[in-house]
């Protein structure tokens, strides 16, 4: 476990209320919690966040949970009941940030929309993540990350020509939305220092993916060019592809810088390609990508992966291979940069990813794994002034 920092953390003193579930909202609050913000996660009584039961389970709890919900406090609360809604209002009166990823209109239906909550706390910053955003004709459609990836243009480019589109093996649409949401929160915090006022941040899953699509739109606008899937290659940037080795593995080579390309061609004993004036710059190389890729593949396929990587590293050509989880946890560079940490959970010690970004003076940390359902309910409610008798009454009525 990371040692506690002596100096104050970057977001120490900020109070965050999380009303989301699964990925997009909770990932955003996770990032804030890693840098010192107090994160109070509101979960439905008895069942909690569905993520608790996603993917691999150990001792009744998802292992993912201890990544997504580390450093958080769990407060169980029935948001559909007026008493639960009133507790939210009390929390918001003291909070800096509210993060939610419900369907647009859900909070308004509970009397907890932006207008109502900002009236209680004008300094409140509210992050709202949804499939299609808070406005527009698709606003009320259900939207998960996979749909955002499709509408944002990513899925069309994933895979090989003529085959069904494939997905990235993680929930990248949700996580990108979380990152944009955190950027929005930090911008709003900076502006609040001048105005003293909060604001809400509207993040749509599809827009977060779309924002990553590089030159997709201007190429279509200028030339009518519709970019298509290209397998492991990076169209228009040559050479940048995966290449087979003689031990059944693959290496990834990015030799697309002009001087890097020449070093690569000389390494594979293709001086003709290194000195061909047509291939001096990327635009010319991209016109002959198939020829260049074939030459590289002929060289790699006669060698083992390690032989290829050693030679490329010696020639200062960027190269690597697709890491598995086993590769990651044993890699000396990962370990040297503290990117594999260990948290203590009810099921014992557990390796988890480290904290990003790395700040020199006020770095983030991992204090605890994911909380048990409702673990901090009494502490949070007592902090709001509710007596033990009042809390017991809320339990009996199913509010907490």
Bridge-based pairing of strands 61-62 and 57-58 is antiparallel
Pairwise CA distance, residues 361 & 328, whole Å: 27
Structure tokens at 239: 């050479």
Which of these is catalytic: 174, 221, 293, 378? 174
Give the whole-angstrom CA distance, residue 338 versus residue 364: 12
Instruction: Give the list of residues 6+ apart from residue 392 with CB closer than 8 angstroms, or none.
Output: none
Task: Note if 140 is an active site residue.
Answer: no
Token pair 């069309």: residue:
156
Which two tokens mark 353?
């990813």
CA nearest neighbour of 68 among 376, 352, 392? 352
State which H helix or E strand residue 117 sits in. helix 114-120
The SS3 of residue 208 is helix
Euclidean distance between CA atoms 46 and 102, whole angstroms:
19
Backbone angles phi, psi at 58, to 5 degrees: -135, 125
Q: How far apart are CA 154 and CA 156, in angstroms?
A: 6
Q: Among positive and negative, which fits the CA dihedral 125, 126, 132, 137? A: negative
How is residue 3 annotated by DSSP? P
Asked whether the beta carbons of 99 and 25 are under 8 A apart, the reply is yes
Taking a C-beta distance cutoff of 8 angstroms, is the pair 255, 318 a contact?
yes
Which of 44, 27, 26 lies closest to 110, judged by CA?
44
Integer Cα distance of 67 and 299 in angstroms? 41
DSSP SS3 for 223 = helix
- Integer-rounded Cα radius of gyration of the chain: 25
Number of Cβ atoms within 10 Å of the Cβ of 228:
10
- The rounded distance, in Å, linking the Cα atoms of 382 and 376 is 10
Catalytic residues: 174
């Amino acid at each position: 476990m990371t040692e506690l920092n002596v100096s104050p953390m970057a977001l120490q003193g900020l109070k965050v209320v999380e009303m989301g579930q699964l990925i997009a909202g909770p990932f955003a609050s996770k990032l804030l919690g890693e840098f010192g913000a107090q994160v109070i996660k509101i979960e439905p009584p008895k069942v909690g966040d569905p993520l608790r039961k996603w993917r691999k389970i150990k001792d009744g709890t998802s292992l993912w949970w201890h990544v997504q919900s580390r450093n958080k406090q769990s407060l169980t609360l029935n948001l559909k009941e007026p008493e639960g809604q009133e507790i939210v209002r009390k929390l918001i009166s003291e909070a800096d940030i509210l993060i939610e990823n419900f369907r647009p209109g859900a909070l308004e239906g509970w009397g907890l929309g932006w207008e109502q909550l900002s009236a209680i706390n004008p300094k409140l910053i509210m992050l709202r993540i949804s499939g299609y955003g808070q406005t527009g004709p698709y606003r009320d459609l259900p939207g998960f990350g996979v749909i955002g990836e499709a509408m944002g243009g990513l899925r069309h480019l994933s895979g090989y020509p003529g085959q069904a589109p494939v997905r990235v093996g993680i929930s990248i649409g949700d996580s990108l939305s979380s990152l944009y949401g955190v950027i929005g929160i930090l911008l709003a915090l900076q502006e609040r220092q001048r105005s003293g006022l909060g604001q809400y941040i509207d993040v749509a899953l599809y827009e977060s993916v779309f924002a990553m699509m590089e030159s997709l739109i201007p190429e279509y606008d200028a030339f009518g060019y519709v970019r298509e899937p290209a397998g492991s290659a990076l169209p228009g940037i040559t050479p940048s592809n995966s290449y087979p080795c003689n031990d059944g593995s693959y290496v990834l080579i990015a030799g697309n810088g002009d001087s890097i390309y020449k070093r690569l061609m000389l390494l594979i004993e293709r001086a003709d390609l290194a000195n061909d004036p047509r291939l001096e710059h990327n635009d010319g190389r991209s016109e002959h990508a198939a020829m260049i890729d074939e030459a590289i593949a002929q060289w790699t396929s006669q060698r083992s992966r390690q032989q290829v990587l050693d030679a490329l590293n010696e020639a200062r050509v960027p190269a690597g291979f697709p890491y598995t989880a086993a590769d990651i946890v044993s890699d000396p560079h990962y370990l040297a940069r503290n990117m594999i940490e260990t948290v203590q959970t009810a099921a014992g010690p557990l390796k988890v990813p480290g904290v990003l970004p790395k700040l020199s003076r006020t770095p983030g940390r991992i204090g605890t794994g994911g909380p048990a359902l409702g673990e901090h309910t009494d502490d949070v409610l007592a902090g709001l002034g509710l007596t033990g008798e009042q809390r017991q009454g809320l339990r009996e009525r199913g509010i907490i």
